[in-house]
Structure 1
Amino acid sequence: MIRLGNEVMIVDKEEKNVEDLLPVATAAKIGDCTNEEVLKSLGVGNFDICFVCIGSNFQSSLEITSLVKELGARYVVSKANRDIHAKFLLRNGADEVIYPDRDIAERLAVKHSANHVFDYVELAEGYSIFEIPPVAAWVGKSIQDLAVRTKYHVSILGIKSGGHLQILPRADRKLEADDHLMVVGLKKDVDKILANIK
């Protein structure tokens, strides 16, 4: 959030947890956010988004989520470790629940279970973005000539080459052996392409 140019206030009850971020955060406060008076003093209603990032103490996460929403937070994103936690967080004020540990674990599992997948980002409804090498038979041919959308039911969103990412490459762009293709599609369709990569 900070790198993207947002103003960020960090709050933790442990001083050592905020020390490293003091130079980069807009503000850093020390306080127990389960205390309503502490949250009131922060003015949570003035923020566009409040993130509740407590992973080890679900009771505190639930209390803080509920309190920040009651105090006028516009949008609350809370961290969950289990589905049952997510249900309670959503019922008690969270507008969105994230599972960072689970999401990273799933991403790594797909990336390291499938041969020739450099990276992977899950989207929605079964669709994902995969970073893969081109099939050997594709090298030297243009995207248009390959008709990957018609033949394989995937779209090429970008091509990484020499450390640079070209988004939405032109149809006449010829593929090179060391290209990394950013393709979007269903896993089953991408698996068919991967099966042709030696």
Structure 2
Amino acid sequence: MKSVLIIGLGRLGHHLCINMSQLGNEVMIVDKDEECMQDLLPYATMAKVGDCTNEDVLKSLGIGNFDICFVCIGSNFQSSLEITSLIKEMGANYVVSKANRDIHAKFLLRNGADEVIYPDRDIAERLAVRHSANHVFDYIELTEGYSIFEIPPMKEWIGKSIRQLAIRSKYHVSILGIKTNGHLQLLPQADRLLTAEDHLMVVGLKKDIDRILANIH
């Protein structure tokens, strides 16, 4: 369990509060608009109305007591930058700030953010990959070049085991899991036979996965 502070209750802040709470974390939420937090009160351990560009408001929160501080202000970059800088100066352990543009990310990282996220950009990239390529059920980029794809098996793989196919040595990708009828089996055994209903969670370089996709019909 972690102690989490969420500043700014737009869409990202709302989803973070609910999900962090459901995962068993203690969550404090702060926003200058009281109406934004009403539906989150059942999930938050603590809630405070206040303008976090005001140092006195931030000091009252006990910034150093939180494991993670999320700055989820996307509409006012100046406020996001000020808050990020202030909470780091006040002893924040780890600061995650939202950015909409690369130039914003650079300033945030220079002024105290330990991590910067681009939720809108990341969702757009994921949707673009899913709906541009045939036979891709889902996609997650890990690092530059490496990704996880959820794909169907090639026809010649059906009825054969992972060991028989030697997918890792032949195709330079690894099977992390197999999803069948919504149930995910992580790290499947080498003797697991593949079926037409399987969705394979494969990790590797995008160029290697693209070669597999080109042979799925």
The two structures share one fold, judged by TM-score above 0.5: yes
After superposition, what is the alpha-carbon deviation per residue over 1:23-56, rounded to whole angstroms, capped at 9, x for unaligned?
A: 1111111110000000011111100110000001
Partner of 2:164: 145
Percent identity, aligned pairs only, is 82
How large is the RMSD of aligned CA atoms in angstroms?
A: 0.7
1:71, distance to aligned residue in structure 2 (A): 1.0
1:99, distance to aligned residue in structure 2 (A): 0.7
Given the alignment, which residue of 119, 128, 143 partners 1:109? 128
Matched, 1:82 2:101: yes
Distance 1:149 1:161 in 2: 21
Q: Which runs of 5+ in 1 are unaligned?
A: none
Given the alignment, which residue of 158, 169, 186 partners 2:177? 158
Partner of 2:192: 173
Amino acid at match of 2:104: H
Matched, 1:8 2:24: no
Within a 5 Å distance, the mapping from 1:1-40 to structure 2 comes to 1-40=20-59
Q: Please give the secondary structure, in 2, of the residue aligned with 1:170.
A: coil
1:125, distance to aligned residue in structure 2 (A): 3.0
- Spell out structure 1 runs of 4+ moving beyond 3 A: none
Distance 1:171 1:90 in 2: 43
1:162, distance to aligned residue in structure 2 (A): 2.0
Distance 2:56 2:21 in 1: 26
Distance 1:128 1:52 in 2: 27
Aligned length: 198
Q: Please give the secondary structure, in 2, of the residue aligned with 1:183.
A: strand
Superposition TM-score, scaled by structure 2 size: 0.90
Q: Please give the secondary structure, in 1, of the residue aligned with 2:21.
A: coil
Partner of 2:144: 125
Partner of 1:68: 87
After superposition, what is the alpha-carbon deviation per residue over 1:98-145, rounded to whole angstroms, capped at 9, x for unaligned?
A: 111111111111111110000001001310000000011110000011
